Chains A and B, each alone.
Chain A
Amino acid sequence: MIGEASTVASGAGGCHIFNGCGFPAPGLQNFDYKPLFSVGSFHFTKPMLIAVLCVLAVLVFFWAAFSRPKLVPRGVQNVGEMAILAVRDQILRPALGRRGDGYLPFLVSLFFFIFLMNLMELIPLFQFPSMSRIGFVWPLVFMVYFLYLFLGFKHQGAWGYFRNMIPPGVPAPVLLILIPVEVARFFIVQPFTLGVRLFANMFAGHLLLTIFMVATWYLMSFSAGLLYAAGSAFMVLFVFLLELLVDLLQAFIFTTLTATYIASSLEAAH
């Protein structure tokens, strides 16, 4: 974020208040990166690099923690066990109970991958949440939805699964009215909100941080502007801490909803 803000500001030619130049407002251009390298028509960008590094970080961390597990955990294994137990007790068990323990590796990977991807917006040099590019969110949503449908069909049968969506005792004419609502909810709105919630939170957070960073730079001058710059710098700190919470919360919500979807696929919810 700091580097990016500086880039935006220096791109405006050292633009400060009272210099006669306008505020170099951050916008969608802050989410576009030039390719690091290209292979034919495929362009490898910074958000992709961040995603690859996050995958590797999750893999390496859990491999280091559990490749040679000890009965009495020490060091990385200790942290790894705490991480797994946190996901199990706060996300998996409340939604699925003990029968869902088989899905723990999936939910742990999902939670820590999303959390790390979100956290990248606050780590210097990376300073970009890849989840603020919606192309990184949809594959996760499709994966979760595919699992949701697959488990539903497997445990309730294709017909039973769709029949169980409507609560029992609903009269036939009402059922006819409800089918379009149910189809729109299940195939359009629910996956859309699952993806857009994560994307929009990351997008807004990154934009907020960038705006206050650039504003701090822009307002800096040997005049009253310095006070405004201090105010803006305080907001950077405030939004930074807020984003720390949002990063964790968004990963938590995405994984919790995934767990509840799995739970509803395993048995009919009435």
Chain B
Amino acid sequence: MAKPGNGAVKDTEQDSRAMGLNVGWTVFSYLIGGMVAYGAIGWLIGKAVHVSILFPIGMLVGLAISLGFVIYRYGRQESMERNDR
């Protein structure tokens, strides 16, 4: 029979695995989401003003925004947790 201590460690490992999987895919979704959203906005504006370069620019801007947000949200959270230890 497993010791209670081992069970707790196992639970924590499983918790962090589920959390890691979720955070990983959320970060990926943010990066693609930023490109999709601002790419679409850039494309729409570009279509209206006949400047096709706005589409790739929008995608890059979206990527930069989501990258900044991911660092703000998850990077900060991780560093705060590290300080707590």
Q: Which A residues are within 8 Å of any B CB, using their own CB?
A: 89-91, 93-95, 167, 177-178, 180-186, 188-190, 193, 253, 256-257, 259-260, 264
Contact A181 B21 (CB under 8 A): no
Chain A residue contacts of B18, Cβ below 8 A: 91, 94-95, 256, 259-260
Q: Given A90-B14, A167-B73: A256 and B21 within 8 A (CB)?
A: yes
Q: Which residue of B lies closest to A167 (CB)?
A: B73
Q: Which of B26-44 contact A (CB under 8 A)?
A: 26, 28-30, 32-34, 36-38, 40-41
Q: Is the interface of A mostly helix, strand, loop or mixed?
A: helix
Q: Which of B1-48 contact A (CB under 8 A)?
A: 11, 14-15, 17-19, 21-22, 25-26, 28-30, 32-34, 36-38, 40-41
Interchain CA distance A260-B26 in the complex, whole Å: 11
Contact A189 B36 (CB under 8 A): yes
Interchain CA distance A167-B33 in the complex, whole Å: 17
Beyond the given A181-B62, A260-B21, could you list 5 further A-B residue pairs with CB under 8 A, ordered by the A residue number? A177-B65, A180-B38, A193-B25, A260-B18, A264-B22
Contact B21 A253 (CB under 8 A): yes
Q: Given A93-B11, A178-B65: A184 and B36 within 8 A (CB)?
A: yes
Number of interface residues of B (CB under 8 A): 26
Report the minimal beta-carbon distance from A244 to chain B, rounded to whole angstroms: 21
Chain B residue contacts of A177, Cβ below 8 A: 65
Contact A181 B14 (CB under 8 A): no
Contact A185 B33 (CB under 8 A): yes
Contact A181 B34 (CB under 8 A): yes
Chain A residue contacts of B73, Cβ below 8 A: 167
Chain A residue contacts of B32, Cβ below 8 A: 185, 189, 193
Report the minimal beta-carbon distance from A175 to chain B, rounded to whole angstroms: 11
Contact A181 B11 (CB under 8 A): no
Contact B11 A94 (CB under 8 A): yes
Report the minimal beta-carbon distance from A11 to chain B, rounded to whole angstroms: 40
Chain B residue contacts of A188, Cβ below 8 A: 33, 36
Q: Given A181-B65, A181-B69, A260-B22: A94 and B15 within 8 A (CB)?
A: yes
26 contacting pairs across A/B (C-beta < 8 A): A94-B11, A94-B15, A94-B17, A95-B22, A167-B73, A177-B65, A178-B69, A180-B38, A181-B30, A181-B65, A183-B37, A184-B34, A184-B37, A184-B40, A185-B26, A185-B29, A185-B33, A186-B33, A189-B36, A190-B33, A193-B28, A193-B32, A253-B21, A256-B22, A257-B22, A257-B25
Interface-central residue, A90, A94, A253, by most chain B CB under 10 Å: A94
